[in-house]
Structures are given as C-alpha cells and as structure tokens.
Amino acid sequence: MQKLKFILSLSLLILFFTPGVKAENKAGVELGWAHLPGFEDEVADTAQALANLLGQTVTYSSDTGAAILRGYYRTDINNNGAVELGGFLSLTDVETVFSIPGASITIAQDIIGFDLSYIHEAADGVGIKLGLHMSDVDSESTVTLSGQSAAVTASDSGSGILIGILSTDKSSQFNYGLTYYDALGGVDDSDATLLSFSYQF
C-alpha cells in the first residue's frame, strides 16, 4: 500500500508539471451521500467490550452513511486531463446507539479531509478519477453504559487512495459522480462510497 501511494503521488506530480494546453481553471461544490459500512466494525467491537464488562448482551444500531459536502478546485493540464484539489466534511454525524434494558447511550463520529486527484476524460463527457486523500474520523474517546466504560478510538487520521467515475459535461454547470474512498482516517476497513452531485462555478 505504501509503495502504491508513493507511485501514485509521483505520477500526480509528473502530470501536474507536464506542459499541456492552456489551463482552464474551475471551482465547484459537491453535495452527496457516503455509504460507510466499515464504521460498523469498530462499534461492534465496542459493543462486545461493554457486554464483557457488564455480563449481559449489549445491542447497538449504527448509521451506515452520512451527508458529505465537498469543495474543489480543478485545472486542466492536457487535452484529456485535469488535476483536482478538494476538501470535504460530513454534514451529518454517523451516530451509534448502544443499549441494554433500561439504559442507552449515543455516540457520534464525524469526517473531515482533503484529496488530490487526476481526472482523465476517458470518453466524451465521462471522466475517470484517481488520487489520494488525507482524512480524520473523530468521535468520543470512551463509551460509558450503566457505570462501565469501553474505549473507542477518539481520532483516526491517515491517508488512502480514491477512485471514481464522473460526468464532465462542459455545457452544463451541473454534474454527478461516484467515488470510492479507501481507508478513511487511515483505517483499512473504514471505506466510503460517495454518490454526489456538483455545481461548477
């Protein structure tokens, strides 16, 4: 994975500094929904830790998605490619409720990060995106239920790769895309699939 990230970073730098067509600079905002199935793994471990401490079953229910807002700046570097820098954050928290008979507690996780990617126009109006992201996933450091506490990772921070497909209709200010973010917060199983709609200024 580290070698892949190094190769991808080097490739982006080479593409960025490769002479090409006169750059067309664009900025925009994206609003979308991220599917986050990997977040359930950590809360399942926390529920089991609480169950072991309390000596009874702890049930939990967790969101598997969040609304995401992303801003980006894009510049053309050749006839069929562009480099894009973006920043993103969750508009809604990923909430988990831990419960036992007569008691419950809710924790929330939020996401923030930025990304750098290369967009290649594979066909007329269709682009392929490949890049890297740096992101943080923040939550409470402990969960206390009925007097017993279990540790939760308070903040995960790290990098991962991203790959996606998007519309690149130059005649419209509105486009859409589907992007897969690997390892949010640097955690291997905390992946996200973002379906989004964008408005370009």
**Domain interval for residue 43:** 2-200
pLDDT tens digits along 148-165? 666 665 567 888 999 999
* Nearest-angstrom CA–CA distance, 195 and 201: 20
The per-residue pLDDT for 42 is: 72
Beta strands in the chain (DSSP E): 25-35, 59-62, 65-78, 81-90, 94-100, 103-123, 126-138, 142-145, 148-151, 155-167, 174-181, 192-200
Query: What is the pairing mode between strands 148-151 and 155-167?
Result: unpaired
In order of 123, 172, 193, 200, the CA distances from 169 in angstroms are: 11, 6, 22, 11
User: What mean pLDDT is predicted for residues 112-129?
Assistant: 93
pLDDT tens, residue by residue, 42-79: 778 778 888 888 888 889 888 889 999 999 999 988 88
Proportion of the chain above pLDDT 90, given as a percent = 38
Rounded to the nearest integer, the mean pLDDT of the chain is 83
Which position has the higher pLDDT, 103 or 35? 35
Range scoring the smallest mean pLDDT among 11-25, 65-79, 116-130, 180-194: 11-25
What is the domain count for the chain? 1
**pLDDT tier, 193 (very low <50, low <70, confident <90, very high otherwise):** very high
The CATH code of the domain that includes 90 is 2.40.160.20
